[in-house]
A and B are shown apart, each in its own frame.
Chain A
Amino acid sequence: MRLDISSKLALVLLLWVCAFTLEWFVSVPLLVVAAAARYLVPAFRPQSHRANRAFNKFLLYSVAILVLLTALNALLMPGGDILFTLAGLKFHHDGLMFGIRTAARLLLLSVSILIFFISTPLPDFIRFLQQKGLPSQLILILLLTLHFLDQLPERINRVFVAQEARGAPVRAGVFSRAKSLVSILSPLVLSSIVESIDRGTALEVRGFLVRPEASLVRVQARQKLNPVSLTLLLLTLGVLFLFLLRWLLAF
């Protein structure tokens, strides 16, 4: 079973449709299965330590969100039976169910995005977008952003140290520190504009912006969907159809 980027995106779409259309008692098991896919399905294994850390952080977040959403809404949303009372605080059934439904939906939406990105290196995803026809300028922006993300922390640090050495009040009161923001961000933005002008010129003289139709990588001829993607898309349509049917029957 091949899980290329198209298939993974089809899965994300399916999970999103499920999150919005299915009841919580279906969403919650789906959520558990989706989270477990990170461990069980090779295609969803994290591609880096950073991705792995992000997923582990998400697991902690999920527990916290589930507890907070259910508890707070059970407390604050009156309606239905009172399930229990704790230290004088009443926890209501309707609020609890609202919390569970909201948490299930939010977490299913989030885990689907997360398992996609932890298992798909960004450059591969950007290349995929390019093959699907995203304009060259936008592809270049995404790739250059990754390039700047590598450099920017060090540049920020250099500017910060330079400003501190010049006596900028980076450790004084809040108001002074807020003023320092301008003295740190201005040279950063200025140097970025200077560099952007030069980079823009370099791109132009290398023919990039002159002939955007000769894109970075030529758009591939339309490929047939692989069976996995097709199955997932059909499932998505099926879920949507059932939801619409149920909605119409409810009238």
Chain B
Amino acid sequence: MAARILIDRFSFRYGPDLPSALAEVSLDIAPGSCCGILGPTGAGKTTLLHALVGILGRHHPDSIHAGTIRVGERTFAPLPDEILFPKVGLVLQDPFVQLSGVRDTVSDEVLFTLENLGIASEVAQSRVAALLRELGIDHLASRQPSTLSGGETQRLALATMLIAAPEVLLLDEPTSALDTSAVERLRQIIESLHSRTTVIITDTQIDFSLPLADQIVVLDAGNLRFDGKPSDFTSRMNEFGDVLPVRGWREALDRLAESSAMQSHAADLLGKALGKT
């Protein structure tokens, strides 16, 4: 069951002498929806993800923070004092590091997550097999994780989180090391999670998240610059040229046009946007 995320005026500073990493950010992310958080490096995207999964406070005990974060039924003021896994799953930017390094096969690597949850491997085997099939990497089940390609590793990293059926799935710049076909495959997987899991994707580019997201957020130096629907974002896209690369916007809109849910909107927006250049 997907969880709602409600962030109310959340501020975070890594240390007393350091600038704000996040300044009074408020967000309401509906359960089962997909939210794309966009912004340049240093905007606070990863900080926000780490706050949501519950590691920010643990790793930075001297930090200064304020506000509240609510994940599902639980409210924290503001930082969770425990890691929220398996309720919240985080796929790190580097999928190779996400893997434990201590398991010899792909399916054992996924099993590792369930073992950490105390689930016996006999029960877990069938779950792992089903998930690997769903992600299209069942043919790699007995391969060594270190021999996988970037896209395969990304899907394995995703599997290590999805196996725990999280209510919220956080993806930190998931496409940074992927080629086009791997990106497309990842997009299909995330689309399939719609309404089952609340998904948050951070990115410095717009072309991956825009066609997928129900909600777009733009962060800039810890400040919230935009929070709204993709259609509103595309109509104002030029405003964010200083923090987001605009080179991907045509492709993003083309994809929007292909998506049945946004067809008429997209055609409209494409027309407007083309008229603006």
Contacts and interface: CB of A to CB of B under 8 A. Distances in A.
Interface string B156-185: 000011001000000000000000000000
A186 B191 CA distance: 44
A81 interface: no
Given A147-B102, A216-B116, 4 more contacts: A205-B161, A206-B85, A206-B112, A211-B116
B119 to A, nearest CB: 8
Interface stretch (B3-11, B89-97, B207-215): B89-97
Contacts of B116: 206-208, 210-211, 214, 216
Given A198-B94, A207-B116, A208-B116, A144 B102 contact: yes
B118 A143 contact: no
A4 interface: no
Interface in A194-231: 195, 198-199, 201-208, 210-211, 214-218
Interface of B: 53, 55, 58-59, 82-83, 85-86, 89-90, 92, 94, 97-102, 104, 112-113, 115-118, 120, 160-161, 164
B117 A207 contact: yes
Contacts of A147: 101-102
A143 B160 contact: no
B91 to A, nearest CB: 9
29 contacts: A123-B104, A140-B102, A143-B102, A144-B102, A147-B101, A195-B97, A198-B97, A199-B101, A201-B55, A202-B99, A202-B100, A205-B55, A205-B92, A205-B161, A206-B85, A206-B98, A206-B116, A206-B160, A206-B161, A207-B83, A207-B85, A207-B86, A207-B164, A208-B100, A208-B112, A210-B116, A216-B102, A216-B116, A218-B120
Contacts of B104: 123
Given A205-B53, A210-B85, A217 B102 contact: no
Nearest to A142: B102
